[in-house]
Amino acid sequence: MTDPEVVWRAKSDDEVVEAALDLSEYTEEGERIIRAELRRRGLPMPDPSIGKCSRCGRSISHNQQDDECSQCGEPFPPEILRALGAAAVDTGSGATRAETVGGEPLTVKWEQVASDGASFSLYRSKVPGGWLVASGTDGPLTFIPDAEYKWNENSS
C-alpha cells in the first residue's frame, strides 16, 4: 500500500465522501485512490468524469463550474462545454454567466468583436482549437476552427 492510500484509509467516511464530491480537484492518482477507498467502504460512488483536460489530464466532473481546467487553465473544448450543459448566454457584462443542466453556474469569458456597418453584435470566446461565436445575446453558438488563434478583427 502506498503512503497516499494509507492516508485515505485513515480518513473518516465523511471526509472520503466530501472528497468524492470534488474529484476534479485531485490528480488522476488521487482520484483513483479516493474511488478505491469508496469501493472498499461500500460508500456511494460519484458519477464518472465527462472527460479529461487535454493539457494536464485532470478529470472533468459533471459539476465543473468553470470553462477551463482548474489545474492548468486550459480552456475546455466545445464537446466538454456541451457535456456541461451550458445554456442561456448573457453577453451584457463581457463575462457570460451560464448554467449547467444541474443549475450550477458556468462562466465563459466573451469579448465583443469589433465590426462596421453590422446591425447586430458578435461575440467570441477562445476555446481549444478555435472560437465559440455568438450573435447577440440570444443567438445560437457556433464553433469556428482556428487552432492558431489567428482571427484578428482588424484584418481585411
For 12-30, the pLDDT digits (tens) are 999 999 998 888 788 888 9
Mean pLDDT in residue range 76-84: 78
In terms of Cα–Cα distance, which of 129, 132, 128, 99 is closest to 113?
A: 132
- pTM of the full predicted structure? 0.48
Q: Which residues pair with 123 in a beta bridge?
A: 112, 134
Is residue 100 very low, low, confident or very high in pLDDT (cuts 50, 70, 90)? low
Band of residue 75 on the pLDDT scale cut at 50, 70, 90: confident
